[in-house]
Chain A
Amino acid sequence: MAVRPQHMHDGGIVERRLRPIYDWLDNGNNKKALQEAEKVLKKSPSLSAARALKALALFRLGKGPQAHALLDELAAEKLSDDTTLQAMTISYRESQQLDKVCALYEAAVKVDPNSEELHSHLFMSYVRVGDYRSQQRAAMALYKFAPKNPYYFWAVMSIVLQAKTSEDSTKRGILLSLAQRMVDNFITENKMEAEQEARLYIMILELQEKWEDILKFIESPLYAQLVPGSTAQACIPYLKKLGHWKRLNLLCKELLWDNQDRWDYYLPYFDSVFQLMKESDSNSESTADDTAEKCHEFICQLVESMTSGRTLRGPYLARLELWKRLAVDGDPTSLLGSGVALCVQYLRVFANKPCAVPDLRPYMAMLPQKEREERSREFLTCLGFDENSEPDNSDDIQRHISCVAAWRIAAAPLPASECLCLANTLRGHYLRCLSKGLVTATLTEFCATDGYGVLAAHHYFFAAMQQQSSAPVIEALGLLELVLHHSPANFHAKLILVKLYHFLGNALAADSIYQRLEIKHIQLVSLGWLHAARLAPGGACTRALQLLADTKAFHTHHQKDSVEHLTYAYKYGTFEKLVELRAWGARLEQCAWCACVARHRALLALTAGPAAPLHAPCRLPQEATDNRDLNVIVSYEPPEAQDPNLKERTFDQELSYLRLKDALVSSVALCIESADSRPLEERKPQYEELKTCVEAFSKAMEKCREKYAVSEKISISAPFPSRIIAFVTSPVPYRELYSNTLYMVGELAMNHTSEAHALCERVAGLLATVPQCLAEPEGAPDAAWGLRDRLEALSNYLEFIGIVTFLLGVCNELVAPTNTKKSKKKTSQSPDEIRTSELLNKLNEAVQNSITFLEETFEKLPQYDYQSTLEEQFAKLNIDKYQNPVETKLKNGRQDMINDVMNILKKKSKYLKSLIQ
């Protein structure tokens, strides 16, 4: 954010002097800014703006204490110079001391009570801390002083926010009627002048559920003047609230005549029809549509009214919607005929558009399953195609693909061999188009033909799932890479590639495609599940750390930034958005994935990061929010295969996992604190807390083990099963391993030697049993098939090794602090101390053995058995310039991952050896 204030008043010598400081600060060269500020201060030591900018430069250079000393000094001087105050505000904002900004401007308006600007800054300072009462006071003071509309409405909005956050309903009522009265007065005095003011008024009436009043206001000349041309549309929600169904019906019909494609008019229209149907006094004279017949008649009129120009989807989809609504408690066929026929009819008209299948998909579920499956081929053949048709222009290709896709969604799932057969046929279509120059994609636009490849990939995947075999997945990968090669913009292909490479346990091959998706900013949150969450369980620890750090940085940055957006909303008087922005800020702050990222990162850094203090994550969100976009990968499964509870269920799993990880991070942090250099007595509270924390972890592990015992179905569009499942159901006794290790550190820190000794021996004993638990399943013919699960199991153990290694370092500090090591060796040790060292050495060796075991296991990880029939097809069609990259990607991805893990293990091993005494 630029430091320079937008309006510099001075224009004279002071501005000239300050300019270079601003320039350096805005360019991010804080050192130069500091030098420049000092130069200016030499000439005019009392120039407060220069001192404030110096403080900012100091703060940005990491010299917080010096900066704050300077800021405190300035604050004590009770200044009212806006340039200085704004520079100080930035420092306070960047150091998250927003309350100090309030104090700053409170003092300033006392010094200079006649400055509109200072009053307005004071108001904004309250906005940043969310002090609505003070906001109201400041806004009213401002309005009295400068009677401008925005200030008045700032006060009104501040009252509304007090009401919204008030738990006392009486108080809430009083505040809202106050806010309403304030606006009413303004209306009477003819002072309302902006659209957003009108919207705020509606918001106030809405909060009081005064629907009648809202309608009256919307229909008033004032509203028409402030928000021209939107009266009819604005009435809809309130007519619904009031149950004025007849009016609503007539209004929507009128709107629909002019806008036949507006779904937001159809929905209330249907609502009104179905309500009017319930009301018994239906009469044939009524102009409102109060029967299904009249409704159908209206839709037919809309269809017929479309002239030769563009055919709109609206009226056609409206017919499907009518069928769906009638089917809820009746049989629509007598009026509308079969639903299948209606869907097929829709397809016939719109199959040449890529939206045909996405449009139909929600309506497939309304069709009776049996009829739908029996007549599914009608979808395929309605335009004269079958699976073997060979259309030769892009319009027909799109039609063919829409028909095939709709058929597959309508039909019962195919057995594996037929799935494979269809996949091969579709691949054949793609390759044929390729050899005939029908793949017309450009760098930035994809083309209809790509659809064959994507659809084929889905069917290879279905076949693979039934056969439990990786071979069809490899065919899918080869084909999708080819599609992407010719159609580099096709993100559908990219998304499935990411998914399928992960499916085969190759996180780094997935990464090669992920990078081409250019996922950034908010997408790191909504799509984190797709790739970032799968890197560590795929063994790609170093890459995982990078991506987790990026996500964390996004989240931190947002938290610092989000209050500023509220000040914009006041500045521009967009009161509706203000409420929304506030909720959005809170939603992201409470993001479950971001909370998880912070914890994954803290723990993973112990394994794969350079030696550094534990990253302490922010507090666990109280009401964690689910911000995943799980609709990004298109599915071609029939409606029955869609899991309606998927989002909810998987989110619950992620939350449980988050809590387990949080307990682990907190426990590790408490281990560090209970073993630091303070006197033992002072560390006791942390030890007690550690015990509670580990106990909670242990109990949660036990509960989760029961709760998440059922394995999850794997689907191409849904996230992989939550990591909690592999973690809590693992044969490796993680509950015991973690809790005993963590307890051990605590007991050792408290000098409870005998407890510590017992725990130490127990952990060493447990470690010895792990290789057996993690042994490779015997006689698996298709190694690539199980690789993903295997890597996830190994990476969980790898993470434990990282943590136990780190904790052994903590223990080592306890028994032989680095700074006294040499002298200690000379002094004689008590038998207890000797025993502690012996046992820690023993545990250390057990961990080293585990490392050797992991090294051997990773060394022996199965190779991919790469076989593809794609190359044969190339030869047949004389496509020979293209090199299928899948084999190399799989091989290199596997090797790079192994190298990464080996490197980590080597470092751990070296560190452990250095701890042996």
Chain B
Amino acid sequence: MTTIRPFTCEDMLKFNNVNLDPLTETYGLSFYTQYLAHWPEYFQVAESPSGEIMGYIMGKAEGHGENWHGHVTALTVSPDYRRLGLAATLMNILEDVSEKKKAYFVDLFVRVSNKVAINMYKNLGYIVYRTVLEYYSGDPDEDAYDMRKACSRDVNKKSVIPLAHPVRPEEVD
């Protein structure tokens, strides 16, 4: 039971029940406002009937030529609203927007240790395109999977042929 609507600035005051989760980063204010100003259609929130934030997705469109793609910057669902298929709903929206923008594919980064998320993305049709070494800083640094799903524009699914070798973060464009 969900209201899907664009994320607004004021949502930042009530996203605590989502963001206090340790895998969800709370960014500086300008990070959110920049996304809101640049890609508002890519920043959507799922709200419960009582007005609580159940989860949100934040993304952007970037790249040139055949690298023009949608990117998932953050996807998070409050622990109280998991196992409802909400993440899939939100991903669908982002994929729809990317289709409308005639992107070639959608990609995202995920910690290699985050098995739950990786499985979910696989179920949604994403593949591990490549490994990015030590992408997440921390103690120790952690690798990321760069996962991808082709959009309809990429007729020959060229964008989702996995790379054989891992890359360094600086090689990621």
Contacts and interface: CB of A to CB of B under 8 A. Distances in A.
Interface of A: 195, 228-229, 261-264, 310, 312-314, 317, 321, 353-355, 358-359, 361-362, 443-446, 488-489, 491, 494-495, 517-523, 525-527, 554, 558, 561-562, 564-565, 568-569, 571-572, 574, 576-578, 580-581, 583-584, 587, 627, 629, 631-632
Given A354-B79, A518-B22, A521-B27, A569 B37 contact: yes
A522 B12 contact: yes
A353 B3 CA distance: 18
Nearest to B17: A632
B119 to A, nearest CB: 13
A444 B3 contact: no
Given A317-B49, A491-B20, A577-B37, 6 more contacts: A313-B84, A358-B48, A572-B39, A574-B36, A580-B8, A584-B9
Contacts of A361: 50
Interface in B1-56: 1-5, 8-10, 12-14, 16-17, 19-23, 26-30, 33-34, 36-41, 47-50, 52, 54
Contacts of B26: 518-523
A574 B33 CA distance: 12
Contacts of A520: 26
Contact of B80 (A317, A355, A571): A355
A618 to B, nearest CB: 18
B25 to A, nearest CB: 9
A564 B96 CA distance: 30
23 contacts: A261-B1, A263-B47, A317-B1, A354-B82, A355-B80, A355-B81, A444-B21, A445-B116, A491-B21, A495-B20, A519-B26, A522-B12, A522-B13, A525-B13, A527-B16, A558-B29, A565-B33, A568-B34, A576-B40, A583-B9, A584-B9, A631-B17, A631-B52
Interface of B: 1-5, 8-10, 12-14, 16-17, 19-23, 26-30, 33-34, 36-41, 47-50, 52, 54, 79-85, 96, 100, 114, 116
Contacts of A488: 22
A598 to B, nearest CB: 18
Contacts of A195: 41
A263 B1 contact: yes
Nearest to B33: A565
B38 A358 contact: no
Q: Across the A-B interface, give the 10 residue pairs with the lowest CB-CB distance, nearest first.
A: A584-B9, A491-B20, A568-B37, A313-B1, A264-B3, A569-B37, A565-B33, A263-B3, A362-B50, A526-B13
B29 A561 contact: yes
A527 B26 CA distance: 13
Contact of A574 (B28, B29, B30, B40): B40
A171 B40 CA distance: 31
Nearest to A523: B26
Contact of A523 (B16, B41, B114): B16
Nearest to B96: A229
Contacts of A445: 79, 116
B36 A629 contact: no
A262 B28 CA distance: 31
B80 A354 contact: yes
A264 B5 contact: yes
B34 A523 contact: no
Nearest to A489: B22
B9 A580 contact: yes
Nearest to B27: A521
A261 B40 contact: no
A409 to B, nearest CB: 13
Contacts of B79: 354, 445-446, 489
B84 A353 contact: yes
Given A263-B2, A576-B40, A584 B10 contact: yes
A507 B166 CA distance: 48
A356 to B, nearest CB: 10
Nearest to A628: B13
Given A354-B80, A561-B30, A314 B1 contact: yes
Nearest to A583: B9
A561 B31 CA distance: 11
Contact of B4 (A262, A494, A527, A587): A262
Given A355-B84, A565-B33, A627 B13 contact: yes
Contacts of B19: 523
A564 B20 contact: no
A68 B82 CA distance: 56
A329 B19 CA distance: 40
A554 B27 CA distance: 12
A704 B90 CA distance: 49
Nearest to B38: A572
Contacts of B21: 444, 489, 491
Contacts of B37: 565, 568-569, 571-572, 574, 577-578, 581
